[in-house]
Each structure stands twice: as C-alpha cells, then as structure tokens.
Amino acid sequence: MDVIDMVTLEKRKCFPRAATQRTTTSIAESGFLPASPVDPSLAVSFRTLEYFRRLRLRKASYSVEAFAKVICDLYGIPYRRRFRTAISDTYDVYLSILRIVDGRVKAYLGEDGPNWRVKNSCPACSCKLEGEPDLDWDRMFCIDGNNSLKRIAKIGDREIADRREFTASDYYLLEEYVDRFKDEVKSTRGQDAGIVEADSDSEWEDDQEEQGTPADFAGADDILRQCTQNWKAAAKDEKKKMWSIFEETGVFASACRHGFILWVVDMVRSGELAKYALAVVAKALEVFDDRLLIGYDIGCTFDGTIKRSSLGPEFVRLQCRCCVNAFHGYSHSHSCQTVNHPSVIKGAGLEDFEGMERAFSASNELAPITRYASKYHRRMHIDRHYAQWDEDKYANLGTMLYNNYRQALAILEQEVPLLEQWLRDNACQEQDLEAWQREEAEYFATIGKVTEVDQFAVEYVARLREYWALEDRAANSMSAFVTSIPEDYQPASRTRSRRATTDYLRDASDTLKRETEMRFLRERRDSALRDVIALELRMGIETRWTPSTPRFIETAQYVTERDYRLALEELHRLVVQRLFELQSMNLSHTAYKVRVSIAKSLQRRSKAIRRALRAYNQAAAKLVPARPPLDWSKVSHYAFIEEFELLRDTRNDLQDKRWAQSNTREYMKKSRNIRRAREEISRCNLEVRRVHTHVVLENEKLDKAVQSSLAERNPISGAIAEYRDRRKAVNERLLAVIRQIYALKGFTGNPTPGRREGTSISAAVDPEDSSDDGEDDEADEERQAEAMRMLEFANSLT
C-alpha cells in the first residue's frame, strides 16, 4: 500500500493481516491509519499525524495544505492534492481516537464528572484548603466577546457536505441554554442607537435585532450611557457591523484570573448580545460558590443588566458584582472609575481582568482556518486550541504567581517609603487618603447631575432667544429696505431710455428680494412669538422674561454649562477613540490593509478633534468665569487620566478640595496601589499553597492510578502512564518555581502543603497512613521529608 511517513519517507509498505483480522485493524497495529475505512489505497503514519497535531497546537494557523506541501518536499515530489486529502481525513479520525482515549483516561481517574474541568482545572482557584482565611472575592474571572473567529454561512444553493455537529467539547455552552436568556434584555435601538448600532446589522433577522446588548437596560443613567458610548465609539469602523454572509460571527468566552478558559459561546448571526454574557454568568452562579468578581469592558452597565434580569436575586444573594477591565476602564468616565475600576475595589489585588484580551490574541491565529471550515471543524479547532491553552497556563501557573508576588513586593518596597515620607511632611495619615478617596467618589457621583432646571424653562429661554434674534433681523431688514430708497427718487416716465429700463429692472428685482426677505423674517418672527406665548400660557408666566430676570439668568447659565459639557464629552470621546486606534496600530498581527485603514481613520480623527476642540473653547469662553482654552498640543497628548472629568466641573468648587490637588492625587494613587499590593500578596500566599497541595496530591493519585491499571491489565494503562509522566514533568517544574516563591525576600505565606477542603485527603498525611496496619509509613515519612526539605531550602535562601 502507498504510505506517508515523514520519519522514514517510505513510499510503499506491506502490512501483514491475519485471515480473521480486518484490514484497517492490521494497518493500525503497524502504526499507520488508512485514509479510507473501505478498500484503502493510502495510509498515513501515526507519527506523521502526531507531528502535525503538535505543529497546529503551537501554530494555530498552520493549514493541512501547507503541511502536505512540506511532506511532498521531503519526498522530493511535486505537490499532490491526494496527500492533502489523505492527511485531512486521517487527521480527523486520529483526533477522534485521541478524544476517546483521553475520555477513558479521565473516566478512570474520576475526572469526567459534570463541570469537573471548570471546577478543577485551575488549582489556584479550586483547590481550597482547610483553615485558610476567607478572601473578599472567592473567584475572579473576566468575560468578553471576539469577532475574529467567524465562519462563512451557506451562500446561495451551495450544499454543505459536512453536516456533523461537534459535541465532544466541555468548553461550549449549548445553544439551547444560551437562548434561555434571549428575551431578558430588549434592544434600545430607538432610545440609544449609537450603542446598539455598533453590534448590529440591518440584514439580521428581526428577533436578533430586538435582542439587547449587555449595555441595554432601562435603568442606565447618563453617566453609564456615557461610559458605554465611549467604549463602543472606540471600536474600529470595520468592526461596527457584521456581514450577513457569516453564520458564526465570533465567540464570547470567559477565563479565570489565571487564564484558564471557563466557557465559550458561539455568537450566531449577531454581535455581542446580552444573552451570551448572561448565559456565562448564569453558569457561573450555578457552578461556583458565592462572592464572584466579574471583569467586563462594560461591567458598570452590565452589572445593572444582570440585576434587572432573572439572575438578579441570585446574583445579589451571592454577593457578586461586576467591574471594568483595568486597561479598557480608562475609557470610562472618571465617576465610573472611582467605583468600578479594579484599582479601587477592595480585594481585587493587582488583577487587571484583561485575561480575555490575551486569550483572544492567541486564538486570533485560528481565523484563517476557521473562516471557511465546516461547523464541525471550526468548533473542533477552537476546542483543541483552548485545551492546549489551558495546558500551557497550567505549566506556567507557578511563574504567573511568582511574577505577581514579585510585582507586589516591588510596589511595597518602592512606594511605602515615599508614602510614609509624604504623610510625615504633610502631617497626614493613611486614613486621610482613604477619606479623600471616598469624598472624590461621592463628588464625581454627582458631577454632571446638576439640579435639573425645569425643561419648560429651558425651552422657553431657547424660544425667547430665537424670537429676539428674529425680531432684530426683521427690524434690520426693514431698516435696510427703507434706507435703500434714494432721496431723489422719482417715478419713471412712460418714455425712458434703454439704460433707464435696465436700472429699473435691477431696482425692481432688488426690491422684490428685500420684500421677500422681510416677509419671510416676519413670518418666522410671528411663529416664534406664538411658540413663546404658548409656553407662557403653559407655565403660567404673566410677565415675559427679560435678560435681567433672575429665572432667565439661572436657566441661561444651566444651558451654557450643558453646552460646555456636551462639547467636552465629544472631545473626550474623540480622544479616547484616537488612543484605542493608536493601540491597534501597534498590534503585531494587525494586517497591512487594516493598519492603512486605521492610519486614514486617525487622520480624519485628528481633524475631528480639532473641530471639537474649537467647539469646546467657544463653549468654555461663555462660562462665568470663563474656562481657559485648550490647545491642540495638550489634547493630542492626553492619556487615560481624569483631566477630562476634572474639566467637567463648572462650579469652580474644586479649589478647596484637597483630593483635587495634583500632589495629593499622586499619593492617593500610591496608597491604593499599596493596598492592592498587600491584597495581592495575601491572595498569592493562599494560591501558592493551593497549587503546592494540588501538585503533591496529583502526583500521588497518578502513581496509584498507574499501579492499579497495570495490576488490572487495563488496556488503557499505557495511556494512563503516558499522561502521568507528562503531568509529573510539568508538576516538577511547578514545584521548582514554588520553591523560588518560598525563597523570595518578603514571602509571608506557609511553605508547606495543606489538607484539601471537603475531603479526607491531605498532601502531608494520606488517610491510609493512619490505618492500624501501618503499611504506608515509609511513604508518609517520605512526603513529610519532602515538605521539610522545601522549607529548609526556602529558609537557607532567605
């Protein structure tokens, strides 16, 4: 038979087969997989398929065709399409075999229960120990959507050959489960088209358009809507609408703070609808314990969405809340940041909640091979990619905790002396900084919410101003008409020259134009007067307001401040949008055409910012007292800071606020960083011990599983042993990094493993060790000796 083997480069091979043996079985026993189950003519070696699987796990965009061309190059022959087809078909079968084997290994190890992966894949989150202190937040995870992993839908009469459904993944939430929440939030397209338009397309089905986004809920105030508008406006133009040619338009996913993927949901013919986020939150409330902290780029608004949905009572009962991501949160209003940014949330530590951005940065490489794949293959590729992602995260878990610990220690080492010196110099205490932070949050919770002046009064003042302007224009038009008549005007005679006739026609035309202008202005003035009278009757005003009327002055001042804030918010939005586009320009995988598009967009954005800057300066000049104008050089360098929100103040009452002083604000931030760093150290102390305990317990569990499977002559004992060897190699690396954490100068945790909560299994004492027969005393002594060696090693380095 013809064969493909990239190791031996054999072209043909003879496979012996017994009389009672199937052909495919005999070929598989020889280390090859036939390309067809019936009368195969070509077989691919398992080593070749495994090599391709490993390549694709490390380079997600590596295609079957590229690999087939490499094989042809190794064989020294031109590219053969037959090779690509054979590798593609056998690769699907090979992955199916691996899934069956992995499933049997997990079943033997007792790791195949419902939600077992989500509950146990991250030992730092799940391996709770007896006697450990309670954390402010039991679990912290982030959620977000990504539209890179699209898939072309059926076009025209094209028939789809592969109609299979990939159901072997425990990452995906079922579509039926997600659709339970499709009617929880209704779209506010008519009320706030700017928010929904970013995630909708006019060609989608009506029921999809009626569904709301995570930012849609009736209770959203102006501040929350401003946050959402800023964030949605920051999306690139090409991402604001999906094309109807796609069946799946991306994925909505979630990950714990250590990067392990929790759940994935396909976004089907829609943008980032609320049902996807609500389904993930519902599953988290069902599987996890209480006190969940959820990071989302529009977490401030989504928190209200959850509480007004059917999940609200359970969400509140379990003391859960949402927050914004650290990076994306800076596009939100400062009043939102003082409440929802991770840096101000007690117990959040140094977590930035940007885990999904890192995960999507890697999964974006799948886009070239999922765009035109079948539904089965697209989901299979995504499942395999995230499974490898979790394996990598497990291998690097110790390094992640080590880096977090070092970061927190560095903050304490650098910031604490500076803060203490400043407190001594200013005769303050750290409690004062916390009080000023609360005062700042209270202040910004009300800024922009100026006492509402009666809307009729605002409309009345606007109509009065319009009426006065039209009255002046009508009077000026009448005056211009009268003064345009010459003093020596005489009626023309019946007999006049050609020149006189021309002058007459010109004068008559001018007269008609002026008369038309006067009539038009009079009609507009009379219309405006009728509107003024109607409002006076509605409001019960007996004496018409004048510019010196106190109520007129109050209302006019409110209108001026409102115009100022609108101009400032527009400037803020454009600057934030510019910053996000600049960030996108620096992405390593941004295509050339996309970078060109962004560059052109930035040029347009710069012109728009200049126009908005002129409008802002005009509005600022009308304030009493007038605000100093802003220049382009300053605005073009604005970063994610609260300058814009400080500019929103029109009452000029910040001069007496201690927290508004730049020097004080700097040390308020240092104080927050110090508190978050101490929280991070407390959490890392707990999580490092959890990982240490998990590693010791898992090593023992795997050793016992291998021994028992060999004793039972289980056919998958070889797979279990291979899994044990691979896992223990990773665990040894984790233990080595954990030793480095224990050796850090400033480590304050317990450098020994503990007892896992809810079980009788201990990393230090196995339940069988306490039995009367005493058969495993030597194993018990060895585990205790290992714990003591790690403790002595840590003490010697410190």
Q: What value does the mean pLDDT of the chain take?
A: 80
pLDDT at 467 over 90: no
pLDDT at 743 over 50: yes
Q: Check if the beta carbon of residue 334 is closer than 8 Å to that of residue 444.
A: yes
Q: For residue 194, what pLDDT is reported? A: 35
DSSP letter string, 687-749: HHHHHHHHHHHHHHHHHHHHHHHHHHT-TTHHHHHHHHHHHHHHHHHHHHHHHHHHTSTT--S
CB atoms within 10 A of CB 22: 11
**Amino acid in the structure at residue 86:** A
Whole-model pTM: value is 0.75
List, for residues 199-230, the tens digit of each pLDDT value: 333 344 444 555 666 666 545 555 556 566 55
39 half-sphere exposure, CB direction, 13 A CA radius: 0
Report how far residue 467's alpha carbon sits from residue 526's, in angstroms, rounded to the nearest whole number: 8
Q: For residue 794, what pLDDT is reported? A: 46
Mean pLDDT check: name the lowest of 26-35, 96-105, 172-181, 598-607: 598-607
Report how far residue 407's alpha carbon sits from residue 679's, in angstroms, rounded to the nearest whole number: 12
- Give the H or E element holding residue 3: strand 2-4
- In SS3 terms, 114-142 reads as CCHHHHHCCHHHHCCECCCCCCCCCEEEE
Task: Locate 554 and state its tokens.
Answer: 């109050």
3-state secondary structure of 248: strand
Cα radius of gyration (the chain): 35
Q: Check if the beta carbon of residue 335 is closer than 8 Å to that of residue 645.
A: yes
Buried-state track 370-394, b at ≥16 Cβ within 10 A, e below 16: beebbbebbbbbbbbbbbbbbeebb
Q: Check if the beta carbon of residue 285 is closer than 8 Å to that of residue 320.
A: yes
Mean pLDDT check: name the lowest of 314-318, 491-495, 508-512: 491-495
Report how far residue 322's alpha carbon sits from residue 306's, in angstroms, rounded to the nearest whole number: 9
- Cβ neighbourhood burial of 173 (10 Å; 0-12, 13-18, 19+): buried
pLDDT band at 300 (very low <50, low <70, confident <90, very high): confident
pLDDT at 155 over 50: yes
pLDDT band at 771 (very low <50, low <70, confident <90, very high): very low
- The DSSP symbol for 108 reads H
List, for residues 341-394, the tens digit of each pLDDT value: 899 999 999 999 999 999 999 999 999 888 888 899 999 999 999 999 999 999
Q: For residue 73, what pLDDT is reported? A: 95
Helix orientation angle between 355-363 and 375-395, rounded to the nearest 10 degrees: 130
Q: Where are the domains of the chain?
A: 2-109, 133-395, 455-485+499-545, 562-648, 680-797
Q: In what order do the strands lie in the sheet with 2-4?
A: 2-4, 42-45, 32-34
Q: Check if the beta carbon of residue 334 is closer than 8 Å to that of residue 231.
A: no
Q: Check if the beta carbon of residue 146 is closer than 8 Å to that of residue 276.
A: no
**Amino acid in the structure at residue 167:** T
Q: Pick the residue with more confidence: 335 or 702?
A: 702
Helix orientation angle between 717-742 and 81-109, rounded to the nearest 10 degrees: 70
Q: For residue 206, what pLDDT is reported? A: 44
Task: Locate 535 and state its tokens.
Answer: 């409002």
Q: For residue 582, what pLDDT is reported? A: 54
Assign residue 36 a region (left: φ > 0; alpha: ψ between -120 and 50; beta: otherwise): beta
pLDDT band at 163 (very low <50, low <70, confident <90, very high): confident
Rounded alpha-carbon distances, angstroms, from residue 278 to 160, 375, 465: 32, 24, 49
Q: For residue 217, what pLDDT is reported? A: 55
Q: What is the mean pLDDT of residues 294-319?
A: 91
DSSP letter string, 252-277: EEEEETTS-EEEEEEEESSSS-HHHH
Compute the Cα dihedral for 111, 112, 114, 116 and give only its sign.
positive
Mean pLDDT check: name the lowest of 219-228, 589-598, 719-728: 589-598
Report how far residue 456's alpha carbon sits from residue 539's, in angstroms, rounded to the nearest whole number: 7
3-state secondary structure of 293: strand
Report how far residue 95's alpha carbon sits from residue 78's, in angstroms, rounded to the nearest whole number: 28
Q: What is the mean pLDDT of residues 428-439?
A: 87
Percent of the chain with pLDDT over 70: 74
Cα-based angle 612, 561, 328 (whole degrees, multiple of 5)? 55
pLDDT at 607 over 80: no
Task: Locate 687 and state its tokens.
Answer: 């999580």
Pick the closest to residue 140 from 276, 320, 392 (CA basis).
320
Q: Check if the beta carbon of residue 235 is closer than 8 Å to that of residue 195.
A: no
**Amino acid in the structure at residue 150:** K
pLDDT band at 792 (very low <50, low <70, confident <90, very high): low
The phi, psi pair for 266, rounded to 5°, reads: -80, 130
- Strands of 416-566, DSSP E: none
Q: What is the mean pLDDT of residues 628-657?
A: 56
